[in-house]
A and B are shown apart, each in its own frame.
Chain A
Amino acid sequence: MLKKNKDYRVMKKIGLIINPIAGMGGSVGLKGTDGLAHEALRLGSIPKALDKAKVFIEKISGLENLVEIVTCSGDMGENALKKYNFNARIIYFPRSENTTSSDTVEAARIMKNEDVDLLVFTGGDGTAKNIYEGAGESTTAIGIPAGVKIHSSVFAKTPGRAGELAKLFIEGKTTLTKEAEVLDIDECEYRKGNVNTRLFGYLTVPVERKFMQNKKAPSLKSEKSQQYEIANEVIRDMLEDEYYIIGPGSTTRAIMEILGLKNTLIGVDLIYNKKLIENDLSENQILKYISSSPAKIIITPTGGQGYLLGRGNQQISDKVVKTVGKDNIIIIATKDKIANLKGEPLLLDTGSNETDEMLKGYAKIITGFRETVIYKINS
Chain B
Amino acid sequence: MKKIDRSCKVRKNFHQAKWDEAIIFELSQKGERGILVPKAETKISEKVGDGISKLPKNMKRKTVLNLPEMSQNRVLRHYTRLSQETLGADVNVEIGQGTCTVKYSPKINDQLSRIPKMAELHPLQDESTVQGILQIMYETDLYLREVSGMDRITFQPGGGSQGVFTMASLVYAYYKEKGEENQRNEIITTIYSHPSDAAAPHVKGYKIVYIHPDENGYPDFEAFKAAVSDKTAAFFVANPEDTGVYNKNILKFTKLVHEHGGLCGYDQANANGLLGVTRAKEAGFDMCFFNLHKTFSTPHGCGGPAVGATGVLKHIEKYLPAPLVDYDGEKYYLNYEITNNPYSVGKIRSFNGVAQVVLKAYAWIRSLGPEGLYQVAKTAVLNNNYLFKKLMELPYVDAPYIKGKQRVEQVRYTLEKLYNETGVSTADVQRRMMDFGMHYWQSHHPYYIPEPMTLEPTETPSKADLDEYIETLKFIFNEAYTNPEIVKTAPHQSVCHYIDESGMDDPEKWAVTWRSYQKKFK
Contacts and interface: CB of A to CB of B under 8 A. Distances in A.
Chains A and B belong together in one complex: yes
Interface of A: 1-3, 157-158, 160-161, 164, 174, 176, 209-214, 216-222, 225, 335-336, 338-339, 342-343, 361-362, 364, 367, 369-376
A304 to B, nearest CB: 15
Contacts of B502: 174, 176, 209
A336 B450 CA distance: 11
A214 B226 contact: no
Interface hub of B212, B425, B443, B498 (most chain A Cβ within 10 A): B212
Shortest Cβ-Cβ A-B pairs, 4 listed = A220-B445, A362-B226, A211-B498, A339-B446
A343 B446 contact: no
B112 interface: no
Give the secondary structure class of B's interface.
Answer: loop
Interface stretch (B175-183, B200-208, B319-327): B200-208
Contacts of B382: none
Given A219-B445, A371-B198, A375-B223, A211 B209 contact: no
A176 B502 CA distance: 9
Contacts of A218: 445, 501, 504
Nearest to A368: B208
A271 B419 CA distance: 44
Contacts of A219: 445, 501, 504-505
Nearest to B421: A158
Interface in B181-230: 191, 198, 202, 206-213, 215, 220, 222-224, 226-227
17 contacts: A3-B521, A213-B498, A213-B499, A217-B444, A219-B445, A221-B504, A335-B446, A339-B446, A339-B447, A343-B212, A343-B215, A369-B202, A370-B207, A370-B208, A371-B210, A372-B207, A372-B208
Contact of A370 (B100, B206, B447, B521): B206
B521 A374 contact: no
Interface string B492-522: 0000101111101100000000000000010
Contact of B430 (A209, A213, A362): A213
Interface in B211-254: 211-213, 215, 220, 222-224, 226-227
Nearest to A372: B209
Contacts of B445: 217-220
A209 B450 CA distance: 16
Nearest to B490: A213
Nearest to A164: B423
Interface residues of B, number: 46
Given A2-B521, A214-B441, A214-B442, A161 B423 contact: yes
Contact of A361 (B215, B226, B448): B226
B294 interface: no
Contact of B223 (A1, A338, A339, A374): A374
Given A209-B502, A373-B212, 8 more contacts: A157-B420, A161-B423, A212-B427, A212-B499, A219-B504, A343-B212, A374-B210, A375-B223
A169 to B, nearest CB: 13
Given A3-B521, A225-B505, A214 B227 contact: no
Contacts of B431: 212-213
Nearest to B227: A374
A1 B521 contact: yes
A371 B208 contact: yes
Contacts of A371: 198, 202, 207-208, 210
A8 B447 CA distance: 31
Contacts of B147: none
Nearest to A216: B441
Interface in B480-500: 491, 496, 498-500
B434 interface: yes
Contacts of B496: 213
Interface in B260-307: none
Contacts of A370: 202, 206-208
Contacts of B521: 1-3
B427 to A, nearest CB: 5
B212 A342 contact: no
A373 B224 CA distance: 11
A160 to B, nearest CB: 6
Given A164-B423, A213-B434, A214-B430, A375 B202 contact: no
Nearest to B511: A2
